[in-house]
């Protein structure tokens, strides 16, 4: 698989693997043997960029990923995240926490769970309004100097925060939701990171599975995080399904699946971005990897965007 560069020297496969779903966010989590098979198949297919976080599970996601990648640790890039306060009794997220001392604590715990001596890419998972972003960046700068972290990332940050952080410690990548049905970052965020030379890591490039056409909101299990999301509910879901049906017609003409077409669209938005679609199934992983070989012309891109205009999507993301 071809490589792409994110920010200041971080080179990864042009497609990564988001590992949130393996920890049970969308239903049952994978057992270790299933995760081993999935992540190692991803590596065989050319993926060397794996994304997790302490909040996935919580905690179990990092443990699963760390064990699965242990035999090939020196050949892969692992990204993880800090930034939430997690109730130790319930495991629930109860607020933000990017205090410098907490960042250090989280990194030490993540290193243990991942079974590694360094984190390749460390993101602030969400901005913390109580902590200046300069303090966050300075803390990560110290962790980089200590050899515990290699690159610094932000997630869902606004342009002003990105600039402030980047002035203290160069930001390699911004992780934000970006797909055919979520294009908010195009107005201000994307121009900002491109001006600064920061890469983009789109999460949920398949709309949390909705853009595949295979996710039926009424069939989601109660433990599935998506049941709480407005886009997957009632009238919004019916409207959005109509848009996906239109995308499927275009995909049929291109001899690919709707998922592949939606992912190919993201991949064609620039050489400075690396999407990280997640899956728990090897056949879907292989389908996603095949999308990296789809070539789209300017006319194709226009047709795709006309079939699924983001302005017609109903429902907020969260």
Q: Give the catalytic positions in this structure.
A: 56
Given a contact cutoff of 8 angstroms between Cβ atoms, the answer to whether 200 and 273 are in contact is yes
Task: Using alpha carbons, list the distances in angstroms from residue 299 to 205, 250, 302.
Answer: 21, 12, 5
């Amino acid at each position: 698989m071809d490589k792409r560069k994110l920010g200041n020297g971080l080179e990864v496969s042009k497609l990564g693997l988001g590992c949130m779903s393996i920890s049970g966010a969308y239903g049952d989590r994978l057992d270790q043997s299933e995760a081993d098979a999935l992540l190692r198949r991803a590596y065989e297919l050319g993926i060397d960029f794996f994304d997790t976080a302490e909040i996935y599970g919580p905690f179990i996601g990092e443990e699963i990923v760390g064990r699965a990648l242990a035999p090939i640790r020196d050949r892969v890039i692992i990204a993880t995240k800090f930034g939430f306060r997690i109730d130790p009794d319930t495991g629930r997220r109860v607020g933000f926490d990017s205090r410098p001392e907490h960042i250090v604590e989280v990194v030490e715990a993540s290193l243990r769970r991942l079974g590694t001596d360094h984190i390749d890419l460390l993101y602030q998972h969400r901005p913390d309004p109580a902590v200046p972003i300069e303090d966050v960046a300075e803390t990560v700068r110290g962790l980089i100097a200590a050899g515990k972290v290699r690159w610094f990332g932000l997630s869902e940050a606004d342009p002003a925060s990105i600039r402030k952080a980047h002035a203290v410690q160069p930001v390699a990548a911004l992780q934000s939701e970006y797909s055919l049905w979520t294009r908010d970052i195009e107005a201000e965020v994307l121009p900002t990171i491109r001006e600064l030379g920061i890469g983009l890591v789109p999460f949920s490039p398949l709309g949390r599975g909705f853009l595949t056409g295979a996710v039926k909101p009424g069939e989601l299990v109660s433990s599935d995080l998506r049941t709480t999301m407005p886009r997957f509910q009632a009238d919004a879901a019916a409207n959005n399904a109509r848009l996906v049906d239109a995308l499927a017609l275009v995909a049929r003409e291109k001899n690919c699946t709707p998922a592949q077409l939606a992912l190919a669209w993201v991949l064609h938005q620039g050489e400075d971005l690396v999407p990280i679609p997640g899956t728990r199934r090897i056949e879907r992983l292989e389908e996603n990897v095949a999308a990296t070989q789809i070539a789209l012309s300017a006319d194709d891109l226009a047709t795709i965007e006309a079939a699924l205009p983001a302005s017609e999507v109903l429902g907020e993301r969260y």
